[in-house]
Structure 1
Amino acid sequence: MEQYTYDVQMFKETFEYEFTYLNGFLRNVHRFAHKPAMTCTSTDRTWTYAELNQDVNRLAHALLEDGVGKSDVVMYQLLNSAEFVFSFLAPQKIGAINSPINFRLSPGETAYIIDDSKPVVFIYDAEIKETAEQALAMANHQPSRVVMVDMTGEEKAPEGQVTFEDYVQNQSVEDPDITHPMHIYDENTRLYTSGTTGMPKGVPLNNINDILSAHDVAMHFPLTPTDKTMNMSPWFHRGGLHSGGPNPTLYVGGEIVILRNFHPKTCLKYVEKYGLTFLIGAPPMLKMLYEQQKKHPVDLSKLKGIVTMGAPLGREECINYQETLTPNIYNGYGTTEAFWNTFLRPYDLPEMAGSAGRACTDDDVAVVKIYPDRKADPDDVVARDNQEVGEVIVRAPGKTAYAYVNKEEESRRVFHKGWIYIGDLATWDENEFVTIVGRKNDMIVSSGENIHPVQVEEILNEHPKVQESVLVSVPDELRGESTVAYIIKADPSLTTEELNRYCAEHPMLADYKKPRYYRFIDDLPYTATGKKKHFEVRKMAVEDQEAGLFEK
């Protein structure tokens, strides 16, 4: 039995039942009772912390009436909205698990997740009513209660369902009488991965994970009770919920401003109208904000910073954003499993643009060697020379539960010796700045040479007539694989001849890495977290090759 130098009993009892995300929110309910907690831009309504707590309680009591209890799952498929926030907080009041899922999923993917988590209550947005109904019809598991959230007040709930407004009507606004609804190790939030390599995986987060993710944001922005944040991306993923979304902002006592749909002109207007201090979003959003601000500038003087994640920022892009939007640009890199784990601060930019930064304050990051038959141990690292490529691994014990739901084998594959083996390929330098070069399963082997798509894409994107690019492979009898670059033009006059000449003359692009083929397209597929879906482009490339659509 563990021996201590002092009596730890009261500390254990207090810490294990009091150090919960819910209690952090409730502290703000009484100390910031009349301070704005949330503003909806669609309705221009603001909730104080006291008012928000009352609406959360209405939902919590409705869930209790439906028999939702300890460790039951409440799943919600919602666009950014007040009801999303209610659904995030109310299950925690009664010891249940809140589980937001992507509203852009297909009916089949949604049905898969419903069967995986077996929610007792399923809440969905009327805007995706058709998808939700198809998913429920396809799923084997049927939730006991299905609730439809309708922003317009005009939609009727399908038979057997109820609108959110009717569901919470006449419910108590008082806190549920549950003394200790959760323990620090209880699953609090369940997210689902973007599914870039297969079906989405359930990622359990406990109270410590949720709290220390909020602490991480408070440290790195830094985020304070005086801040007003607007996450421009959907909240259902880690970067949406935990980076300036409901999780950290409501934990520190700030105000979240809800953006239902992203539009650059609207976002900039809201910065001025609401006095926003932080914007959060994927790099493509920053590019659109930059272009809008150049054409139609608004007052951004209250903006303390813009935080982005999901992809690296190029040096020229970074300089442009710092000059036109705010000097304080941040870039985080991480996973659904462990939030962000490396970070670029404003003082790192633009010098270290293109890299993913170095480890966050409480995390460790390493780049380890790759073996065909086994994992490298955490200390088996590649050279810190920014040349040798290895696999990124991260250790973030405060922000991950080191497991997937219902996937023991996958958990063993990804989580090893306290580290997360992400599957991303990278180099690092003597100061441990990490540069991502691709995914292990995206790596292209052509004539025995390894080609990392991200390296080539960054060079292509530097061309003034290229807006965006993706490099993938297609079968080649001679080489095994050949490369094809899918290009979105920034200038309609761009030709393959120009690109071939540009690549041939570029000092950082070896001959074997140059694209052998090109295909000009209008848009590219992205995950909800702003990452390019190489696997989807690869499938498209095989079909395009057979149809003879490539240019040389």
Structure 2
Amino acid sequence: MVGPVRRCELTASAASGLAERVVGDVLRRPARLGPTDIVVRAVTPSGETVWTAAELLSDAEGVAAGLLARYAPGDRIATCLVNGPEAVLLQLGVALAGMTLVPVNPRSRPQEIEHALSLSGATAIYAAEDAAGNPAADIATDLTLPLEVFRCDGDWRALVTAETVPLPDVAPDALAQIQFTSGTTGRSKGVRITHHGMVVTSHAFRDRIGLPTGGTWVNPMPLFHTAGNVLGVLGALWQRCEHVVLPFAPAPVLSLLAAREATLLSAAPTLLDLLMARPEIHTADLDALQVVFTGGQTIGPAFAERVERTFGARLSTTFGMTETCGAALQTAPTDPDEVRWTTVGRPLPGTDVRIATPAGHATAPGEPGELWLRGARLTTGYYGDDQATAAAIDRDGWLHTGDLAIMDATGACRIVGRLKDMIKTGGENVSPEEVEEVIAAHPSVARAAVVGAPHDRWGELVVAFVVAAEGAGTVEPAALEQHCRERLSPFKVPRAWRVTDELPMTASTKIQRAELRRRAAADPTLRPRTS
């Protein structure tokens, strides 16, 4: 806990002091402390794979040995896999081999896969034959790139060699992963992630969750992203819990929450919304569930309260980016309701935070500014893109997130918008998140996204895209407009409404505002009111 904040800049407590310094150390720890404890249960449509701590270490070492027989430490090894045993083993085996993992979204299209492999300089790719309907292995095979393609069909044992080879010493600042940003605008950038960043972030995440050692964590978050493979895989190893890994589908997740007596569920807000829409959630046995962890997009207090009421568990929310190994600020389940429901919490150890004015000075508590981050979990930059690195990280080491935030006197931060998403209409600034929160509170709306549409007179008009709540019937724009007028200043009320079946989302479940802005500007049937 920090003292009263007078200027919105915090230097958090240090993240050092851990005996474990690289990913392999985190894997070896539960094998030493509880070798027979179940630490991973990978669930796929074809069955389950269960590892004790000792078995997981042994098999990951076998994967590392197989890799070292073909490649050298420092080589980049790509994966294009859905959640399952192969994804877990390759993540850990690549780390033990001192190589760099390049996890690629298995739903990626050919040009996206080619971009990731070309930019990273991958030596090999392990790709699924069928990645949720996407022929990832065929796509990789058809690319004219100098790399080996290994086709993964679910037989994870083929990855493990019985040979024993010396494993390399891995430095904490060695490159552990190149993860690709969600790409809400432009082509994805390859974020450099170190072993040290992954270790300290997963440890801090586990500590902020605050549950006793053991338990069961259910994690349907994608393992090609930091939320799945840093906070999930490594966080669960720190916890020494049973880590249930599976692809997301509402029915299996709800079934496993009850069957495995889960103590923690990790799911993005969009996934939580899909789970809460299932009728069986009201009869599922979730008595063991203590914490629901979420992040990746801003949520409002109404949604947060609904999650806690539906699941009967406390919420923990993070603000993180691929550039911060998935977490930088986080609420604790023990925080007061006001903190859990309206903020993204306080900095994790090793994270400095500044709420900055346009001139770069710290704001006063309660005043909005750009969220800047610095510290142990920060990326070393974008792979092969010095220009993008310099644009994002200044000479003093601050990452300029582009997010607008407010810090209160206790150090808790609330995200209030994006600099580039801010709508300027008639000389006034409108935060899309503020309007979305009001719209989403209407009972007929499941999700909402607000963007600006170009307009000669007003500069931009506020346009709302809404998804109807299940069973709500017809969404009436006039009713939504009245709802907003009762709660917002007139200039913030959307001038046009578009009801849609779904909102375009990135792989990490963030709204693709650039795509919505394109639709708003180009769609001839969208005719905003100008008076």
Q: Normalising by the residue count of structure 1, what TM-score does the alignment of the two structures yield? A: 0.86
1:89 pairs, out of 88, 92, 97, with 92
2:119 pairs, out of 101, 113, 116, with 116
Q: What is the alpha-carbon distance in structure 2 between the residues aligned to residue 131 and residue 441 of structure 1?
A: 34
Give the 3 Å change call, closer, same or farther, for CA 165–274 of structure 1 in structure 2: same
Question: How far apart are 1:541 and its partner, in Å?
Answer: 1.7
Question: How far apart are 1:295 and its partner, in Å?
Answer: 5.3
Cα shift readout 1:77-125 (whole Å, capped 9, x = no counterpart) = 1111111111111122221112212112221111101000111110111
Q: Does 1:56 align with 2:56?
A: no
Give the 3 Å change call, closer, same or farther, for CA 271–26 of structure 1 in structure 2: same
Match of 2:21 in 1: 19
Match of 1:134 in 2: 139
* Larger mean Cα displacement after TM superposition, 343-352 or 485-494: 343-352
Q: What is the alpha-carbon distance in structure 1 between the residues aligned to residue 465 and residue 371 of structure 2?
A: 26
**Given that residues 38 and 52 in structure 2 are in contact (C-alpha distance below 8 angstroms), is that contact kept between their aligned partners in structure 1?**
yes
Question: How far apart are 1:551 and its partner, in Å?
Answer: 8.1
**Given that residues 108 and 138 in structure 1 are in contact (C-alpha distance below 8 angstroms), is that contact kept between their aligned partners in structure 2?**
no
Q: Residue type of the partner of 1:172?
A: A
Give the 3 Å change call, closer, same or farther, for CA 498–476 of structure 1 in structure 2: same
Match of 2:110 in 1: 107
Q: What is the alpha-carbon distance in structure 1 between the residues aligned to residue 347 and residue 420 of structure 2?
A: 24
Q: Residue type of the partner of 1:196?
A: T
Stretches of 4+ aligned residues off by more than 4 angstroms:
15-18, 164-168, 548-552
Match of 2:364 in 1: 383
Paired residues for 1:471-490 under 5 Å: 471-490=450-469
Q: Does 1:181 align with 2:163?
A: no
Cα shift readout 1:159-190 (whole Å, capped 9, x = no counterpart) = xxxxx65564xx2164x313x43112111222
Give the 3 Å change call, closer, same or farther, for CA 17–467 of structure 1 in structure 2: closer
Q: Residue type of the partner of 2:446?
A: Q
Q: What is the alpha-carbon distance in structure 2 between the residues aligned to residue 486 and residue 136 of structure 1?
A: 39
Structure 1: stretches of 5+ with no match in the other structure: 1-14, 154-163, 371-375
Q: What is the alpha-carbon distance in structure 2 between the residues aligned to residue 167 and residue 247 of structure 1?
A: 21
* Larger mean Cα displacement after TM superposition, 245-254 or 483-492: 245-254
Q: Residue type of the partner of 1:56?
A: A
Cα shift readout 1:123-147 (whole Å, capped 9, x = no counterpart) = 11111363443355345x321x211
Match of 1:249 in 2: 236
Cα shift readout 1:289-311 (whole Å, capped 9, x = no counterpart) = 33436754222122221100012
Question: How far apart are 1:22 and its partner, in Å?
Answer: 0.4
Give the 3 Å change call, closer, same or farther, for CA 281–167 of structure 1 in structure 2: closer
Q: What is the alpha-carbon distance in structure 1 between the residues aligned to residue 186 and residue 448 of structure 2?
A: 23
Cα shift readout 1:209-234 (whole Å, capped 9, x = no counterpart) = 12101211221112554132121221
Q: What is the alpha-carbon distance in structure 1 between the residues aligned to residue 459 and residue 136 of structure 2?
A: 40
Give the 3 Å change call, closer, same or farther, for CA 212–18 of structure 1 in structure 2: closer
Q: What is the alpha-carbon distance in structure 1 between the residues aligned to residue 351 and residue 319 of structure 2?
A: 12
Match of 2:48 in 1: 44
Q: Residue type of the partner of 1:405?
A: Y
Structure 2: stretches of 5+ with no match in the other structure: 1-16
RMSD: 2.4
Q: What is the alpha-carbon distance in structure 2 between the residues aligned to residue 253 and residue 462 of structure 1?
A: 39
Cα shift readout 1:437-463 (whole Å, capped 9, x = no counterpart) = 222221211222221111111111111
**Given that residues 77 and 122 in structure 2 are in contact (C-alpha distance below 8 angstroms), is that contact kept between their aligned partners in structure 1?**
yes
Match of 1:511 in 2: 490
Match of 2:381 in 1: 403
Q: What is the alpha-carbon distance in structure 2 between the residues aligned to residue 426 and residue 264 of structure 1?
A: 32
Identity %: 26
**Given that residues 445 and 480 in structure 1 are in contact (C-alpha distance below 8 angstroms), is that contact kept between their aligned partners in structure 2?**
yes
**Given that residues 443 and 450 in structure 1 are in contact (C-alpha distance below 8 angstroms), is that contact kept between their aligned partners in structure 2?**
yes
* SS of 2:484 mapped into structure 1: helix
How many residue pairs are counted as aligned between the two chains? 505
Q: Does 1:317 align with 2:312?
A: no
Which structure has the bigger radius of gyration?
Answer: 1
Give the 3 Å change call, closer, same or farther, for CA 462–137 of structure 1 in structure 2: same
**Which fold has the larger relative contact order, with Cα–Cα distance below 8 Å and residues 6 or more apart in sequence?**
2
